[in-house]
Structures are given as structure tokens and as C-alpha cells.
Amino acid sequence: MFGLASFTAEQRTKEVGIRKVLGATASGLAYSLSKEFLMKVFIANILAWPAAYFLMKYWLQDFAYRIDLSIGIFILSGLAALCSALLTVSYQSVKAATANPVNSLRYE
């Protein structure tokens, strides 16, 4: 996630520089860069929950002591994934948003 976020921030440095020159705030730029990744993580969680539920249910049938799979486990894991992605991506997006726009636009 960190590598993908840094690669995307590097690819969008000129866009960030232009938006910053036109008056965008650093928080607005960080939000726009982070929004894309958070939506991807959210959609991945929604798609993975049913598959994980059925695989875990099948796997747990072979044990003598079983637990009930509740939705709380999946929500907690989804929140952990979202928080991890937010921390990882927000570092790169804040770094790109607070950079000097002259450095990114100098070679255009």
C-alpha cells in the first residue's frame, strides 16, 4: 500500500502543483488523493466478506470447538484495514500536498 501510494503521489505531482497554485488547500489535496485509495479498500472489503465468511465456515466445521462467526468480526477487520490504509496513504498525500508547487512545475 505504501509503495502504491508513493507511486501515485509521484505520478500526480504536476496535478497537485497546479491545484496548489490555483488555490487548493493542503487538506483538500490530501483528501482528494486519499479518497481514491479508501474507496478501493472499502470495495475490496465488501467483496471479500462473503468469500471469507463461507471459507471460514467451511474450515471451522472440522474443529471440535467451534465459534460463531458474527458480522462484528468482519466489521472490525474492515475498520482495521481502512485505518491502516488511511495512515499509509495520508502520509504520502500530505507530503505531496505540502510540497512546494514550484519544484513540481519547474520542468514543464
Q: pTM for the whole thing?
A: 0.73
Identify the three-state secondary structure at position 55.
helix
> What cell numbers appear for 14 in the block?
504536476
pLDDT digits (tens, 9 = 90+) for 21-36: 888 888 888 888 888 8
pLDDT at residue 79, as a whole number: 92
Residues 58-69: tens digit of each pLDDT: 888 888 887 888
Please list, in sequence order, all residues whose beta carbon lies within 8 angstroms of the beta carbon of residue 35, skipping any fewer than 6 positions away.
none
Each domain of the chain, given as residue ranges in start order, spans 2-105
Per-residue pLDDT band for 43 (boundaries 50, 70, 90) equals very high
82-107 mean pLDDT: 82
